[in-house]
A and B are shown apart, each in its own frame.
Chain A
């Protein structure tokens, strides 16, 4: 079964507010994590990744936090915009040259104007 899951299936935020999407993973051997954004009818789009030797990584308007102690991953989106509305997936990789990922079920983010 899946070892990656999400706390909240849906999240509704006001435009301009910050969004936080959470993800729990169960495999302590996982050493690489990714967040994807998927818009309706499209493939997942890479947002940001983080390796297990880090606990925070920042991109443009996004920050990923990794807490290995409690096996928790989060994605923070600053100043959320209507274009951020999508389903967000976390994924983990616990090694192997094939680079296989295990995906969570996703959180739907809705941004209210």
Chain B
């Protein structure tokens, strides 16, 4: 069966510090991968998606970037965090069009 792992579960970072959140998927190959941000009590905002190694599409302009160095690895990064980057970050995978996305348990990021 397929599993998706995100870490860390929680993270507290100072403003201006760098960020690296990692997501890995097991049990499938060539998945579509996604990064979302969820504000408290709100829906999910798609940040990035990837249909293959090295292929990254950005949905919204922001202070973050994403990379996919391996087929089942998706990384969310920032060189300098802003207060507005606080939130709940979720990684997901799917097999493609008209297929459900399956989510990890997220990273709660707090910027001080």
Contact = CB atoms under 8 A, between A and B. Distances in A.
A100 B46 contact: yes
A99 B97 contact: yes
A65 to B, nearest CB: 18
Contacts of A98: 32, 49, 51, 57, 96-97
Interface in B76-92: 90, 92
B43 A2 contact: yes
A29 B104 CA distance: 29
Interface string B80-112: 000000000010101111111111111010000
A15 interface: no
> What's the interface size class on B, roughly?
20 to 34
Nearest to A2: B43
A31 B98 CA distance: 8
Contacts, number: 65
B43 A99 contact: no
A88 to B, nearest CB: 11
Contacts of A106: 41-43
Interface in A43-75: 43-46, 49, 51
B97 A103 contact: no
A99 B57 CA distance: 13
B11 interface: no
Contacts of B101: 34, 46, 91, 99, 101
A16 interface: no
Contacts of A34: 100-101
A41 B51 CA distance: 27
Nearest to A96: B97
Contacts of A41: 105-106, 108
Interface in A80-112: 89, 91, 93, 95-101, 103-106
Interface of A: 2, 31-32, 34, 36, 41-46, 49, 51, 89, 91, 93, 95-101, 103-106
The 9 closest A-B pairs by CB, nearest first: A43-B103, A32-B98, A105-B43, A103-B44, A103-B43, A99-B94, A46-B100, A43-B105, A99-B96
